[in-house]
Structure formats: structure tokens, C-alpha cells
Chain A
Amino acid sequence: MNAIDIQSISKYYGEKHAVDNVSLSVAQGELVSLLGVNGAGKSTLINLLTGLITPTAGDALIHGKSIVKDPHQVKSLLGVSPQETAIAPNLTVRENLELMAGVHGFDRKKTKSKTDELIANFNLSTVEKQKSKTLSGGWKRRLSIAMAIISEPKVLFLDEPTLGLDILARRELWQVIEKIRGTATIVLTTHYLEEADALSDRIFILKNGRLEAAGTSDELKQQTGTTKFEDAFIKLVMDGEKA
């Protein structure tokens, strides 16, 4: 069974085809990147898969469960780090993590051990008692990502996780990703192409809501006759437009 099976999914906003008839599959344990220029439809696709919006047409299965018919069952499998930082401002760092563990139904003991683990992995111990609204932007971001991972999701969505992180924090996040890689299926969006190139098993490129290309970094380079992944990406998204 695939972790994700997207079946001709579309999301229209009036005339705007934010996601247009996309079909793709992701195997369990795979790490894939969703790339595309601003407005290509990456976040919309993630919002569809995480049940925040309902498709105009089509469906998607997460571990065999339909996002349209079984949204509640799907949600217990997911971890989501939204593109915008999403934290509870008046709670401390620790309390934010405990909140996410709690709403996923963890008992007191498990909540404590998972919270300790995440605080260690994300080097949050110096700020754990600080109210999250007083953190700097990058530290808020780290917390927001940690909150997505604490529930031990089967499928993890990270929408531009490294946005606004300094190089140390990015390295840390890559380490965390390497740690959970294989146990969880990970869908990542990013505008740092070298990051996608280095981390992902496979890459999907969206353009105007449509799936433009799919494959490993090498396959995409071969397909476009380029040697650098960045060149391959530019060629693919500029295809048919004047370069």
C-alpha cells in the first residue's frame, strides 16, 4: 500500500485552477519534494491532502483512507507544519509541544517523554520555559516544526520548513529529518533547490497547478539535458515560455 495515492485531484477557485488534475503516488518511507514557483499550487495541494480544504474533483488516499470519505481517520496519521508559523503565543515552548501531544491523544507519560525528546532534538532547552510569542522568528519556526513531528506521524508534511532559519537551524532540521526518514513518509516543499536535491528520494514539479515533471534528481537532469539540478528546474518551469 502506498503512503499517498493522489487520484486526479483538482481545486478551483472560480476561474483559477490552483491544483489541476494532479495524480501521483508516494511509497511508504519515501521523502519527496514538491517544487514550483510562487503560486504553483504546492500549499494548496498540501491543504487538500491534510483535509483543510475539500477538492473540487478527484480524491486522494493516505494509507488507503480517502481524504474525502474518511477525513477523521486520515488526520490521525498526519503531521503538518504549515507554511505560516502556527504556535500558541501565550504558551511556553514546552506547553506548545504538550498541547500537540495532547490533542493527538497521548497520555501524560508519553506526552512528557516525547516533549523531552523533541526539546533535545531541536535544541530548545534554553527556551523551553519562554512564552513562544517572545521567541525570535527562526526559533518560532523551529517550534512550529517540532509541533508537527511530536505526534509520530505516519505521513509528515513540511511546507517550506527552512524558511527563515539560519544555517545552523537548517542543518539541525536536516538531521532531524534524516532521523525520522524511513519511519515516516515525508512531503517537503522548499524554494532552496539544493536542499530538495540533497534530501529527496524523488521530486515533483508543479506548474500552474499541474504536475509538470516527476522523478529523481538525476532523471530530471537527464530529461532536460542539464548537469545541475537548478538548471533542470528552470528549464522545466520555463518550458513553453520565453526564457
Chain B
Amino acid sequence: MRAMVFAKRNTLEIIRDPLSLFFGLGFPVILLVLLSIINKNIPVDLFSVSNLTPGIAVFGLSFLSLFSAQLIAKDRTTALLSRLFTTPMTAMDFILGYTLPLLPMALLQSVVCFLCAIILGLKMTWSIVPTILLLFVVSLIFIGLGLLIGSTLSEKAATAISGALLTNLCGWLSGTWFDLELVGGAFRDIAYALPFVHAVEMGKAALAGNYQDIWPHLGVVAGYGIVLLAIAVTLFHKKMKSI
């Protein structure tokens, strides 16, 4: 109940910020349209709409970290969080309250992204449904990262890290903009040690209906998601005891 009240507040706080709506929904759509246009003129297999869509969808989800990190960091600086720490809210109420609003947003983002892709020529197949469900697992990574960044850094640093660094890292290391095999070497190894490229490849496999290729990517993605969320929860518990 307390968690739901707080979740409602956080939802309002995020959707009433027009900039976050633009970056969360508009930006990925614009990218998808732009890259499709490029692809029409200079066809590259990497930029075909079926290859592009999972990558853009994952990239779009990276903005979830920005929303939550910014919100939490701001709540800390405006003393709202310490005010709420003096109420009977538990650490779990806080974590649920900050997490729950992002789940429907993650779903909405993926749906919008795929609708747009269909308009741009993506074949409508049933495999879109499991792909969107798998993207839901991906969103856990970004939600966990957002909690982590927001509860440790200042608002400025949180915005910079989650808005600039994380989204770029996610973009560059996911194999969406260029083929990682072409770069190879350490760059490729780093990319594969991180979850982003796994998230995109899992999405591509699911979308193509090659369900046997989802593993081991799903393992890496879910593993990262669970570990990050666990760290975020532990950290928040600690924070509540000593601000």
C-alpha cells in the first residue's frame, strides 16, 4: 500500500517531465526512422529493420536508468527522501516505489518501438511477443543500474553517468551501430563481458524465431539484472541507516 502510493508519485514525477518522455519514447523512434532511411539509400544488412529494432529497443531501455537515477538523486538533494525516511516506510517500500513505475514504461517503450518498426516494414510475426517479453528482463539491468547510480551519486553526476556515459556505452558496446566482429580484439571481449550485446543478440534471435539461440544470452542478461538489483537493494538498506 505504502509502496503503491509512492510508486504513483514517482510515475507522476517522471511523466510530467517532458524531456524524459522525449528521450524515452521519441528519441529511439527518431533513430529508428533515420537509420531506416539511410538503409533505404545505402542498404547494409546490419541496418535492416529486423536487425535494427532489437538494438534500438535495448538502447531505448537504457533511458530507464536515466529516469530513475535522476529522480532518486533529486529526491536526495531536495531532502524529500530524508523526510520520507522519517515515516514508517520500509526499504522495500522505497525500492518497489522506485521500480514499479518503470515496468509499464519499459513495456510501453518496447511496444512503441516495435509498432514504429512495423510501420517501417518489419514483418508482423508472433515472435514479436516473446521478443518484447525478453526485453522486459533486459529492463531489470537498467532499473538496477538506475537505483544504484541514483542512490550513490549527486544529481549532476547521476545525470551525466546515466544519461551520457551509460546510454553511449550501451549503444557502442551492443553491436547495434556496427558489427563488433569487425572491430574485434579487446573491444569485442569487453563488449561480450557486458550484458548489452547479449541483450541485443537475444532480441535478434527471438525476433527471428531462433529460440534455441536465446541461451546463453538470456543467462548473462538475467544474471546481470539480478546481481545489479541485489546490490542496489543492499545499498539502499545501508543508505537508510546512515544519511
A151 interface neighbour in B5, B16, B87, Cβ under 8 Å = B87
Residues of B near A102 (CB, < 8 A) are: 1-2, 5-6, 8
B72-93 contact mask (Cβ, 8 Å, vs A): 1 or 0: 0010001110111111111001
Chain A residue nearest to B17 in the complex (CB): A90
Residues of A near B6 (CB, < 8 A) are: 99, 102-103
Tell me whether B212 is interfacial, beta carbon within 8 Å: no
| Cβ < 8 Å to A, chain B residues 190-243 | 241-243
Among B9, B17, B83, max chain A CB count under 10 A is at B83
CB contact under 8 A between A99 and B5, given known A52-B243, A54-B242: yes
Among A52, A82, A91, A131, max chain B CB count under 10 A is at A52
A18-58 contact mask (Cβ, 8 Å, vs B): 1 or 0: 00000000000000000000000000000000111110000
Residues of A near B86 (CB, < 8 A) are: 50-52, 75, 78, 80
Chain A residue nearest to B1 in the complex (CB): A105
**Total contacts A to B, CB within 8 angstroms?**
75
Tell me whether A195 is interfacial, beta carbon within 8 Å: no
CB pair B12–A90 under 8 Å, yes or no, is: yes
| Cβ < 8 Å to B, chain A residues 50-69 | 50-54
CB pair B90–A72 under 8 Å, yes or no, is: yes
* Chain B residues touching A, majority SS: helix
Residues of B near A147 (CB, < 8 A) are: 83
Chain B interface bracket (under 10, 10 to 19, 20 to 34, 35 or more): 20 to 34
Tell me whether A86 is interfacial, beta carbon within 8 Å: yes
Chain A interface bracket (under 10, 10 to 19, 20 to 34, 35 or more): 20 to 34
CB pair A104–B88 under 8 Å, yes or no, is: yes
B13-42 contact mask (Cβ, 8 Å, vs A): 1 or 0: 100110000000000000000000000000
Among B5, B84, B93, max chain A CB count under 10 A is at B5
Residues of A near B78 (CB, < 8 A) are: 84-87, 89
CB pair B80–A103 under 8 Å, yes or no, is: no
CB contact under 8 A between A91 and B13, given known A52-B243, A82-B83, A103-B6: yes
Can you sample 20 A-B contacts with CB below 8 Å? A50-B86, A76-B88, A80-B83, A82-B82, A86-B78, A86-B82, A87-B78, A88-B13, A88-B80, A90-B12, A90-B16, A91-B13, A95-B9, A99-B5, A99-B9, A102-B1, A102-B8, A103-B2, A103-B87, A104-B87
B interface residues, Cβ below 8 angstroms from A: 1-2, 5-6, 8-9, 12-13, 16-17, 74, 78-80, 82-90, 93, 241-243
Given contacts A90-B12, A103-B87, A147-B83, 19 further A-B contacts (CB under 8 A): A50-B86, A51-B86, A52-B86, A72-B88, A84-B79, A85-B79, A86-B80, A86-B82, A87-B78, A88-B13, A88-B80, A91-B9, A95-B9, A99-B5, A102-B6, A102-B8, A103-B84, A105-B1, A105-B88
